[in-house]
Amino acid sequence: MYGDRATERKVWLLPVELSDRLKAFQESQGIGSEVEAARRLLDYALQMRDTMPDILQRLADRYRGEQNLRALARDILVGHALVSSVSFEDRCVRFQLSNGAVGRIDDRGEVSSDVNPTRDDAPACCARSGVCATCGEVWDRPNSVIGHDGCTLTVGDLRRQRERAAVGEEDMSGG
């Protein structure tokens, strides 16, 4: 999982209940050590906090040492808790997050993201956090869906757009 990357020794004191839960997780997953079980749980929890910019930065940073796009996809994208699909295209790897945001890295190491390739008027992001999944900026309207370019749609507006599109009505454009 961590390959030849450096590791750092840490010692933590855990409440007995948490330690018991960790041991139960280790046993249920057939993991050889408590340390590996803790690593997997921490990695998963931290992946759930990742944004598109975090993932793109990780890809760009790793590209400097590894230009094989398939290896980058294997190490960073495949198995990531938020990545719902990965596709290999001509000279690039494209991936989609569970919130609909799409990112890519090309064979020159350049990374980019699209707000939503199928619905330009419906930017993808996390409505609960108020953090744009595309650019990572924090917005003051946590009940809104925020696009990379700063446009906002309320969650209700987005839901109504999707419902109308489903029944073939005209799309509502932002308000």
User: Are residues 94 and 74 part of one domain?
Assistant: yes
What tokens does 144 get? 């809104």
Query: Which one of 98, 114, 130 terminates a domain?
Result: 114
Query: Do both 64 and 109 map to the same domain?
Result: yes
pLDDT (0 to 100) of residue 37: 95
Final residue belonging to a domain, choices 88, 114, 140: 114
Full domain range(s) for residue 165 = 120-175
pLDDT in the model for residue 99: 86
- Report if pTM > 0.95: no
**Does residue 7 fall inside a structural domain?**
no
Mark whether 102 and 124 lie in a shared domain: no
Q: Which of the residues in the chain have pLDDT under 70?
A: 1-5, 115-163, 165-166, 168-175
pLDDT on residue 65: 93
Q: Are residues 65 and 109 in the same domain?
A: yes
Q: Is 80 a domain residue?
A: yes
Query: 74 and 103 share a domain?
Result: yes
What local confidence, expressed as pLDDT, does residue 2 receive?
A: 53
What pLDDT, on a 0 to 100 scale, did the predictor assign at position 114?
A: 75
Q: Is residue 130 part of a domain?
A: yes
Q: Is residue 25 part of a domain?
A: yes
Spatial separation of the C-alpha atoms in residues 172 and 175, rounded to whole Å: 7
Is there a single domain that holds both residue 95 and residue 70?
yes
Domain count, the chain: 3
At 22-64, the pLDDT tens digits run: 999 999 999 999 999 999 999 999 999 998 989 999 999 999 9
Sheet holding 92-97, edge to edge: 83-89, 92-97, 102-106, 111-114
- Residue 127 sits at the vertex; the CA angle it makes with 42 and 72, to the nearest 5 degrees, is 45
Residue 6 lies in a domain: no
Final residue belonging to a domain, choices 94, 114, 134:
114
- Is residue 95 classed exposed, middle or buried when 0-12, 13-18 and 19+ CB atoms within 10 A define those classes? buried
126 with 97, same domain? Answer: no
Question: Do 75 and 31 share a structural domain?
Answer: no
| Domain co-membership, 42 together with 57 | no
